[in-house]
């Protein structure tokens, strides 16, 4: 590009003044101070060698040269803005956003991200971790944990809730093994702080397996499930594991299941498309891949979304 084009800071300041009617209005619209606009336009006028505004009036009025430049800038900027908008939308169309509870994201989704990317070339996966209770639906594909909601739009259950205790070999090496639930007294039990009974915690787990809560258990609280698991992996105590969520750690032996006993409910991880039937094909492809990779073998009666017969 020739150096004959003026500095764009001046052109954009000038054009903002044209559209806003005053230099003060241009400053507001560009989020700078009014003197900044004044100087930029003065520099542009020095470069061009003539006034673009008639300053014998307040607010300023365009000169003939200013009018000519404004027309060219409108056309030129519109061309560029239209092209960049199309490019941004095309790029955004290749982005599929998946949101879910932080535990699910950290321990189920992210470990499988490489496989997901390979399964969906050309799609950029964007992940948003959400805590329980955050409002609304964010992202093209949304995963939530909870009970089935019969009035909700179509959801796929990808993991049910089956919970059992586990600990790391490091922890177990410091205490006798195997450790049965009856022997949890005086043991460190890792738990989610501020639990709202939307999932099993230690008391409700023991209740579900029909055993009393062990006396003198020591609770260590965290405010995110990822921190609970990180503490368990570090050998700091016994955690509750959701079946299917921590398979990578259980399979690798980084965590060891402590008993065949488990508590189960009809809750689970449910996945849905924010836009339902109007979802983009890229989003449907991501949802289908997650569904077929989920530990729960049987999807809900709606089956795979997007498939037609």
Q: 235 to each of 168, 169, 176, 181, 239, how far by Cα in Å?
A: 6, 7, 14, 18, 10
Which of 243, 228, 163 is closest to 190 using CA atoms?
Answer: 228
Percentages helix, strand, coil for the chain, rounded to the nearest 5? 40, 20, 35
Residues 6+ apart with CB under 8 A from 101: 129, 130, 131, 132, 143, 144, 145, 225, 269
Q: Does 21 bind its own copies (CB under 8 A)?
A: no
Which residue lies nearer to DNA by CB, 25 or 214? 25
Backbone torsions φ then ψ of 61, nearest 5 degrees: -120, 150
DSSP state of 235: T
Q: Can the peptide bond before residue 59 be classed as cis, meaning omega within 30 degrees of 0? A: yes
Q: Which does 287 bind (CB under 5 to 8 A by kind): its own copies, DNA, none?
A: none
Structure tokens at 2: 């020739």
* Minimum distance from residue 41 beta carbon to DNA (Å): 6
* Binding footprint of DNA on the chain (CB under 7 A): 7, 9, 22-25, 27, 31-36, 38-42, 53, 55-60
Q: Which does 38 bind (CB under 5 to 8 A by kind): its own copies, DNA, none?
A: DNA
Q: Which region among 41-49, 217-225, 229-237, 269-277 touches its own copies (by CB under 8 A)?
A: 41-49
Which residue lies nearer to its own copies by CB, 27 or 190? 27
* Minimum distance from residue 45 beta carbon to its own copies (Å): 9
Q: Which does 39 bind (CB under 5 to 8 A by kind): its own copies, DNA, none?
A: DNA
Q: Does 6 bind its own copies (CB under 8 A)?
A: yes
Which of 219, 217, 229, 163 is closest to 194 using CA atoms?
Answer: 219
Q: Which does 157 bind (CB under 5 to 8 A by kind): DNA, its own copies, none?
A: none
Contacts with its own copies in 88-107 (CB under 8 A)?
A: 88, 90-92, 94-95
Backbone torsions φ then ψ of 119, nearest 5 degrees: -75, -20
* Minimum distance from residue 44 beta carbon to its own copies (Å): 9
Number of residues in the chain: 309
Q: Which helix (H) or strand (E) element contains residue 269?
A: strand 263-273
Contacts with its own copies in 47-86 (CB under 8 A)?
A: 47-50, 65, 68-69, 71-73, 75-77, 79-86
Q: Which does 185 bind (CB under 5 to 8 A by kind): DNA, its own copies, none?
A: none
Which residue lies nearer to its own copies by CB, 124 or 220? 124
Which residue lies nearer to its own copies by CB, 12 or 230? 12
Residues 6+ apart with CB under 8 A from 212: 206
Q: Which does 71 bind (CB under 5 to 8 A by kind): DNA, its own copies, none?
A: its own copies
List residues near its own copies by CB under 8 A. Answer: 1-2, 4-6, 8-9, 11-12, 15-16, 19, 47-50, 65, 68-69, 71-73, 75-77, 79-88, 90-92, 94-95
């Amino acid at each position: 590009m020739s150096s004959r084009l003026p500095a764009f800071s001046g052109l954009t300041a000038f054009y903002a003044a044209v559209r806003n009617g005053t230099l003060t209005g241009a400053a507001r619209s560009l989020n700078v101070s009014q003197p900044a606009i004044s100087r930029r336009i003065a520099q542009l006028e020095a470069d061009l060698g003539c006034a673009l505004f008639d300053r014998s009036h307040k607010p300023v009025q365009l000169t003939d040269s200013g009018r000519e430049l404004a027309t060219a800038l409108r056309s030129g900027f519109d061309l560029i803005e239209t092209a960049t908008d199309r490019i941004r939308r095309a790029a955004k169309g290749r982005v599929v956003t998946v949101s879910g509870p932080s535990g699910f994201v950290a321990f189920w989704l992210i470990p499988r991200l490489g496989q997901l990317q390979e399964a969906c070339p050309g799609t950029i996966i964007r992940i948003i971790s959400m805590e329980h209770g955050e409002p609304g639906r964010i992202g093209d594909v949304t995963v939530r944990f909870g009970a089935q909601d019969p009035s909700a739009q179509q959801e796929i259950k990808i993991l049910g809730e089956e919970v059992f205790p586990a600990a790391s070999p490091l922890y177990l090496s410091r205490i006798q093994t195997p450790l049965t639930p009856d022997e949890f007294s005086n043991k460190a039990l890792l738990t989610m702080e501020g639990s709202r009974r939307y999932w099993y915690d230690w008391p409700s787990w023991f209740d579900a397996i029909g055993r009393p809560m062990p006396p003198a258990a020591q609770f260590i609280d965290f405010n995110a499930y990822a921190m609970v698991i990180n503490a368990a992996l570090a050998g700091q105590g016994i955690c509750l594991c959701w079946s299917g969520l921590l398979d990578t750690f259980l399979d690798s032996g980084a965590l060891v299941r402590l008993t065949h006993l488990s508590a189960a409910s009809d809750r689970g991880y449910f996945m849905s498309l924010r836009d339902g039937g109007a979802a983009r094909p890229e989003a449907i492809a991501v949802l289908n891949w997650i569904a077929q990779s989920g530990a729960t073998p049987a999807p809900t009666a709606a089956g795979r979304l997007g498939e037609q017969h």
